[in-house]
């Protein structure tokens, strides 16, 4: 289907240049791909419709696009980019469960909040299961992150998380794990 096809960079530029926010359903995969394809995506704010919406609270059993679309009562020809985008747009605009806020509004608000990435560098090996249970993920260092366990949290949760790391993981009150503040402009980068 895509053999011999090209992406018209002029049309792409006219579409992307005016965008204030780029939404992807798995932005950690799509953003690096798009930025490698064209510099027009660099410097844009991004939002992720998988990770920045509480789908479980909304009664969905999973975050895969097919699950969301089907459980919302929509049908479409899956794995066709335009059809996937329009179907996701319908799901994002729907507030059937009465939370008073559409998934799109939740996503937009989440994209406006700063987050913090904490790197549990040099954490004791025997603490790995504790870190994993708390939601930390392992980075082998190949993605530009330090080789360590890391997590991303809301900015207002930073003090509590540092307290946890210092008391439960490092067991040293002066432990100072590296942190990085993130906004929609630098989240989901490789």
**Contact by Cβ (8 Å): 116, 179:** yes
Q: Which residue did the predictor score with more confidence, 82 or 29?
A: 29
Bridge partners of residue 38, in order along the sequence: none
Give pLDDT, residue 95.
77
Please report where in the chains the tokens 């942190």 appear, as a residue. 179
Mean predicted confidence (pLDDT) in 169-188: 95
Give the pLDDT confidence score for residue 134 in this predicted structure.
96
What was the pLDDT predicted at 145?
Answer: 82
Q: Residue 99 in contact with residue 59, Cβ under 8 Å?
A: no
Token pair listed for 55? 């789908």
- Which residues are bridge partners to 44 per DSSP? none
In tens, the pLDDT along 120-164 reads 999 999 999 999 999 999 999 887 788 999 999 999 999 999 999
Torsional sign, CA 148, 154, 156, 160: negative
Q: Residue 175 has which token pair?
A: 């432990």
Q: Is the pLDDT of residue 61 over 80?
A: yes
In whole angstroms, give the CA distance from residue 123 to residue 140: 14
How far is 143 from 51, CA to CA, in rounded Å? 19
d(CA 137, CA 119): 10
Percentage of the chain with pLDDT > 70?
A: 98
């Amino acid at each position: 289907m895509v053999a011999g096809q090209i992406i018209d960079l002029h049309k792409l530029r006219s579409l992307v240049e005016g965008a204030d926010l780029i939404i992807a359903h798995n932005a950690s995969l799509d953003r690096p791909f798009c930025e490698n394809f064209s510099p027009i995506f660099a410097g844009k704010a991004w939002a992720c419709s998988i990770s920045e919406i509480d789908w479980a609270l909304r009664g969905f059993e999973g975050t895969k696009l097919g699950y969301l679309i089907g459980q919302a009562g929509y049908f479409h020809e899956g794995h066709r980019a335009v059809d996937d985008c329009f179907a996701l747009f319908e799901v994002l605009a729907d507030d059937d469960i009465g939370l008073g806020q559409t998934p799109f509004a939740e996503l937009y608000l989440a994209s406006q909040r700063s987050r913090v990435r904490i790197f549990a560098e040099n954490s004791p090996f025997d603490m790995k299961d504790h870190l994993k249970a708390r939601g930390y993920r392992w980075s082998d260092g190949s993605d530009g992150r330090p080789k360590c366990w890391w997590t991303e949290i809301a900015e207002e949760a930073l003090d509590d998380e540092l307290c946890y790391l210092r008391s439960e993981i490092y067991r040293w009150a002066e432990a100072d794990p590296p942190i990085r503040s993130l906004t929609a402009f630098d989240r989901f980068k490789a």
